[in-house]
Structure 1
Amino acid sequence: MKLNQFVIIGLGRFGSSLGRELVQLGYEVLGVDRDEEKVDEMSNVLTHAVVADGTDEEVLRSVGVRNFDCGVVAIGDDIQASILAAILLKDLGVKKVVGKAVNELHGRVLEKIGVDRVVYPERDMGIRVAHQLVSPNLLDYIELSKNYTIAELGVPKCLSGKSLSDINPRGRFGCSVVAINKPKGMIIAPVADDILSENDVMVVIGTNRQIEEFQDSIEK
């Protein structure tokens, strides 16, 4: 299902950043917050922004949340309000509901009430930054599941001029280079003969251990 219209309840740092990015990607976004100042800040950014209580069922009905493809509860400072808003979005028939959780217990409650996806922005960012700090060639890190990861690895000088077949990450470590981002553009599904250059970025998929071993080999 392609999602086209989003309603975001809570326009704090996470909610406003999410809304800004969705609009830049070409989607319609309604922002809802009780804080008039926050709504004013986002009124020229989002498709629509309204001062309203996201835990009031009649208010949510009046702004037509049932017509939105996805509702994001981005309330972070009031767990009770977050849970109530999520329940109301589900009851009002929003197709997909995403909830921001501030801790594991909050996340478990959101899952119990039927939220389709729970996100942990602070925790996940902390994990990504930690990996970037300890691995100088790791530019980005996205955990697909408990075991599988997609990582962006910068090509160090020692690999410049070598082909994928030379470094053979699949044969040696079990992970795969699924793309190479070069200054002139992205190579999707690169072949064995593709040559790496210093400062290219390899997009690698594999288990956490496979990618860790590959990282270690190129950092030596």
Structure 2
Amino acid sequence: MKRKTIGIIGLGRFGGTLAKQVAALGHEVCGIDIDEKVVQKLTPFITHSIVADFSDEETIRSLHLQDFDVVVIAIGDDLKAKLLTAMVLKELQAPYVVAKASSDMESKLLERVGVDLVIFPEMNMADRLAQMLTREYIVDYFQLSQDIGLVEMNTPAFMVGHTLEELSLRSRYGINIVAIKRHKSVMVPPNPKEPLTEEDMLILIGRNEDITKLSQL
């Protein structure tokens, strides 16, 4: 695995957690925040830590963040600082800039200044939890696009004892099972001629509406 250099601007709940997790995976992390106390708390967990004010353009330029493989803008509610940081980083030709947004308007503004990826941590988590709470059998859910989801689900009762070949899920429901977790092993791709068991965990991809129909059978 290539060791990456990642700068994380804003070390609140999201940025701080991200910094620690990325560092734990063996990558070089530089965490930056305007609050000295917040920076001090993260210092033992990451490679470098800096106190800096991202409402000041010269400060942003002086940190040479364009030399990092990835920069994540995880600033909280200061939209001006987010936009200024994004504009300066893209002007300096930072390779890949990710920014956290809390609204569609923020997302559009960040995209206009050239951010490579805009994320909605709170909204994404809410969507994920809603899917898990309202669909029977579903254990975990990841949104791949506006209408496509990747789902981990318990094997529905009507599938137990049948093979994937017999069930014809792709033609009947528009669902693709890409893997099966059985005990401590994962079958990728799954054997289409092997009957499913009650203990199997299915990993599947499909349109949200098709996943909903399948979970209600």
Task: Assess same fold via TM > 0.5.
Answer: yes
Name the SS of the counterpart of 1:130 in structure 2.
helix
In the TM superposition, residue 199 of structure 1 has moved relative to its aligned partner by: 3.8
Q: Distance in 1 between matches of 2:163 and 2:24?
A: 36
Moved more, 159-168 or 69-78: 159-168
**How has the CA–CA distance of structure 1 residues 129 and 109 changed in structure 2, closer, same or farther, with 3 Å as cutoff?**
same
What does residue 44 of structure 2 align with? 44
Residue matched to 2:112: 112
Q: CA deviation at 1:3?
A: 8.1
Distance in 2 between the 1:194 and 1:11 partners? 48
1:125 corresponds to which letter in structure 2? M
The residue aligned with 2:146 is: 146
1:155-166 pair list within 5 angstroms: 155-156=155-156, 159-166=159-166
Runs ≥4 in structure 1, deviation > 4 angstroms? none
RMSD: 1.9
C-alpha deviation, 1:158, in angstroms = 5.3
What one-letter code is carried by the residue in structure 2 that aligns with 1:138?
A: I
Q: Which amino acid aligns with 1:112?
A: R
Which position in structure 2 is the counterpart of 1:181? 181
Equivalent positions of 1:84-103 (< 5 A) are 84-103=84-103
Q: Does structure 1 residue 131 correspond to structure 2 residue 131?
A: yes
Residue in 2 aligned with 1:82?
82
Aligned to 1:102, what secondary structure does the other structure show? coil
Deviation track 1:123-143 (CA, whole Å, cap 9, x = no partner) reads 111111111110131122222
Instruction: Give the Cα–Cα distance (whole angstroms) in 1 for the partners of residues 51 and 112 of structure 2.
Output: 29
Q: Tell me what 1:33 maps to.
A: 33
Query: Compared with structure 1, are the counterparts of its residues 88 and 194 closer, same or farther at alpha carbon in structure 2 (3 Å cutoff)?
Result: farther
Aligned residues: 216
Name 1:53's counterpart in structure 2. Answer: 53
* CA distance in 1: counterparts of 2:26 and 2:157, whole angstroms: 38
Which AA in structure 1 matches 2:90? K
Unaligned runs of 5+ in 2: none
Q: Is the 8 A contact 1:55 1:88 kept in 2?
A: no
TM-score, length-normalised on structure 1? 0.89
Identify the residue that residue 23 of structure 2 maps to in structure 1.
23
Give the CA deviation at 1:61.
3.7
Deviations 1:10-36 (A, max 9, x none): 001111121222222222111100111
Contact 2:98-2:118 at 8 Å conserved across structures: yes
1:63-82 map, 5 Å: 63-82=63-82
Could you list the per-position Cα deviations for residues 110-155 of structure 1 after superposition, in whole angstroms to 9, with x for gaps in the alignment? 0111111110111111111111110131122222222222111122
Alignment partner, residue 14 of structure 2: 14
Listed as ranges, the gaps of 5+ residues in structure 1 are none
